[in-house]
Chain A
Amino acid sequence: MLALLTRRCGDLDAADDAVQDALITALTAWQSGIPERPAAWLYTVARNTVIDQVRRDRASRRRLHDAAPELTAHHATTDAEEEDDLIMDASSLGDERLRLLLLCCHPALDRDTQVALTLRLAGGLTAAEVAAAYLLPEATLTQRVVRAKRKIREAGMPLSIPANLDERVDALLRVLYLIFNEGYLSRGAAHVTRVDLITEAIRLTRQVVDELPASAEAEGLLALQLYHHARSATRIDGLGELVLLEHQDRTGWNLDVITEANAWLRSAMTRMSPGPYQVQAIIAGHHANARTAADTDWAAIAELYAQLGRMAPNPVVELNRAVAIAMADGSLAGLAVLDRLTGLDDYHLFHATRGELLARAGRPAAASFERALQLASNEAERRHLARRAAETATVR
């Protein structure tokens, strides 16, 4: 019975507890008469205990679902599905690609080295391509990779699936997230987006999703990347200028990619294992699925940023929450959140956001845009900020 239940729930301890509970229940229940098939009775009680445990875990995580109704409405889980979910995926994790990705993102390597190795060894980029993507001399990149390979060999870093797999997958997803972001919003480059890094990050994240089919956060990251990627064609206008989300031509968004992102996010969320990438994907999904900018559910987005802030406290998340609140409740409400924020004085988007909210509230905003302009390095962003500073210069 224990083996059967263990196979069903994938957890020997949980199954063992459930069988013990069932026996204790039987001591009381059977005083008034032993059932016809005692073994089946015990198994049913124990199985229900395991399913109840899973249900309780799910209920405690339902808040995440409530925040994104349109993404979960299609997926009302049935008891049958819930039971199927209990049977854990026992497929082995022995794939070489995953081992290599995990080694490239080993915590004993510094972050820049993890990124370089991932793109060079696990990805399909040449040293020249990686160097170009990060605006580094090719010799610097090559040297970084050579040094890393030597450390891997000399320090005894294994090409094996680590015991602390969850932690190591977190580090791996973090690197793929950074690579995507670098491609999406590269600082200092003449072009706003660098398609190679975006394509490469998505391709590698797909590999991780393939290798770790039960990882909700890997699916969440893939959905997040696809939502952003679906909109990338409309982020820059014909003159090479940055177009804000609310002004983007939504007919230019790639619906196939958004549909795929929706599917990955739904799949992630049915696993009931929430995390920061899924929350960010839900937020990106709210934007990508809104037919017009005015349709955007800003109140829900503000709540999602609050959740994200609780998972991983970060002033940039709070900055985004301020924007959502401004959109939901007015610029003054957003400014009130910004005024309580500290630690972002050197971040150009803090000042750009503050300028935008001040301008919308009819208050002097040019100084904020000018401060943002001093701090920004992306050319398209700089032109946008200079334009806004000029436009708001009359209100002093």
Chain B
Amino acid sequence: MEFMILIHGDESSPRLAPGDPGFDEFMGAWFAYNQSLIEGGHWVSGANLAPTSSATTLRLTPGKATEIVDGPFAETKEQFGGYYLISAENLDEAIELAKKLPMDNGSLEIRPVAFRPDAG
């Protein structure tokens, strides 16, 4: 089955930029993780999102015009920052794969995919 790993973290915590000491190791860990998902046959897709400062939210109310809001859906301590869509045997395997993400802070929400029209 397929699971989405929703990655939530604190955007305000300092992050490395290209050229900073340790940046290459930081990125290397993510590339290695992606590679391990691909080689293990778990990869479906994944993405890192631009920060919530760039977010735009549309609020839909029946019978009213769509409202366009500057900012994310909700102000939270940890922000949704990216995702992996993986293929795993069951929740236990999905948990093990999520635990291997090169992160030591934040929250990873695991949700089974109920339906995906372009699933193979």
Give A contacts to B, CB under 8 Å. 108, 154-158, 160, 162-164
14 A-B pairs, CB-CB below 8 angstroms?
A108-B95, A154-B112, A154-B114, A155-B91, A155-B112, A156-B90, A156-B94, A156-B112, A157-B91, A157-B92, A160-B90, A160-B92, A163-B96, A164-B96
Give B contacts to A, CB under 8 Å. 1, 3, 88-92, 94-96, 112, 114
How far, in angstroms, from A154 to B94 measured CA to CA in the complex?
Answer: 14
Report B-chain residues with C-beta under 8 Å of the C-beta of A154.
112, 114
How many residue pairs at the A-B interface have CB separations less than 8 Å?
Answer: 26
How far, in angstroms, from A154 to B90 measured CA to CA in the complex?
Answer: 10
Report whether B112 and A163 are in contact in the complex, using a CB–CB cutoff of 8 Å. Answer: no
Report whether B92 and A163 are in contact in the complex, using a CB–CB cutoff of 8 Å. Answer: yes
Chain B residue at minimum C-beta to C-beta distance from A168: B92
Chain A residue at minimum C-beta to C-beta distance from B88: A156
Other CB < 8 Å A-B pairs besides A156-B91, A160-B92, A163-B92, 14 of them?
Answer: A108-B91, A108-B95, A155-B91, A155-B112, A156-B3, A156-B112, A157-B90, A157-B91, A158-B91, A158-B92, A160-B90, A162-B92, A163-B96, A164-B96
How far, in angstroms, from A10 to B26 measured CA to CA in the complex?
Answer: 38
Report B-chain residues with C-beta under 8 Å of the C-beta of A160.
90, 92
How far, in angstroms, from A155 to B114 measured CA to CA in the complex?
Answer: 9
Report B-chain residues with C-beta under 8 Å of the C-beta of A164.
96
Chain B residue at minimum C-beta to C-beta distance from A162: B92
How far, in angstroms, from A158 to B90 measured CA to CA in the complex?
Answer: 6
Q: Determine how close the nearest CB of chain B comes to the CB of A167; give it in whole angstroms.
A: 11
Q: Determine how close the nearest CB of chain A comes to the CB of B109; give it in whole angstroms.
A: 11
Chain A residue at minimum C-beta to C-beta distance from B95: A108
Task: Count chain B CB atoms within 10 A of each CB in A108, A155, A157, A164 and give the residue with the most.
Answer: A155
Report A-chain residues with C-beta under 8 Å of the C-beta of B92.
157-158, 160, 162-163
How far, in angstroms, from A154 to B1 measured CA to CA in the complex?
Answer: 10
Q: Determine how close the nearest CB of chain A comes to the CB of B48; give it in whole angstroms.
A: 25
How far, in angstroms, from A370 to B94 measured CA to CA in the complex?
Answer: 52
Report A-chain residues with C-beta under 8 Å of the C-beta of B90.
156-158, 160
Q: Determine how close the nearest CB of chain A comes to the CB of B116; give it in whole angstroms.
A: 14
Report B-chain residues with C-beta under 8 Å of the C-beta of A155.
91, 112
Q: Determine how close the nearest CB of chain A comes to the CB of B21; give it in whole angstroms.
A: 35
How far, in angstroms, from A179 to B23 measured CA to CA in the complex?
Answer: 49
- 8 shortest interchain CB distances as A-B pairs: A158-B90, A156-B91, A156-B90, A157-B91, A156-B1, A155-B91, A156-B112, A155-B112
Report B-chain residues with C-beta under 8 Å of the C-beta of A162.
92
Chain A residue at minimum C-beta to C-beta distance from B96: A163
How far, in angstroms, from A158 to B112 measured CA to CA in the complex?
Answer: 13
Report whether A158 and B89 are in contact in the complex, using a CB–CB cutoff of 8 Å. Answer: yes
Report A-chain residues with C-beta under 8 Å of the C-beta of B96.
163-164
Task: Count chain A CB atoms within 10 A of each CB in B3, B89, B91 and give the residue with the most.
Answer: B91
How far, in angstroms, from A157 to B114 measured CA to CA in the complex?
Answer: 14
Chain B residue at minimum C-beta to C-beta distance from A153: B112
Report A-chain residues with C-beta under 8 Å of the C-beta of B89.
158
Report A-chain residues with C-beta under 8 Å of the C-beta of B112.
154-156
Q: Determine how close the nearest CB of chain A comes to the CB of B97; give it in whole angstroms.
A: 12
Report B-chain residues with C-beta under 8 Å of the C-beta of A156.
1, 3, 88, 90-91, 94, 112
Q: Determine how close the nearest CB of chain B comes to the CB of A344; give it in whole angstroms.
A: 30
Q: Determine how close the nearest CB of chain B comes to the CB of A147; give it in whole angstroms.
A: 16
Q: Determine how close the nearest CB of chain A comes to the CB of B27; give it in whole angstroms.
A: 29
How far, in angstroms, from A158 to B91 measured CA to CA in the complex?
Answer: 7
How far, in angstroms, from A155 to B112 measured CA to CA in the complex?
Answer: 6
Chain A residue at minimum C-beta to C-beta distance from B99: A164
Q: Determine how close the nearest CB of chain B comes to the CB of A350; give it in whole angstroms.
A: 33
Report A-chain residues with C-beta under 8 Å of the C-beta of B1.
156
How far, in angstroms, from A137 to B114 measured CA to CA in the complex?
Answer: 32
Q: Determine how close the nearest CB of chain A comes to the CB of B40; give it in whole angstroms.
A: 14
Report A-chain residues with C-beta under 8 Å of the C-beta of B95.
108
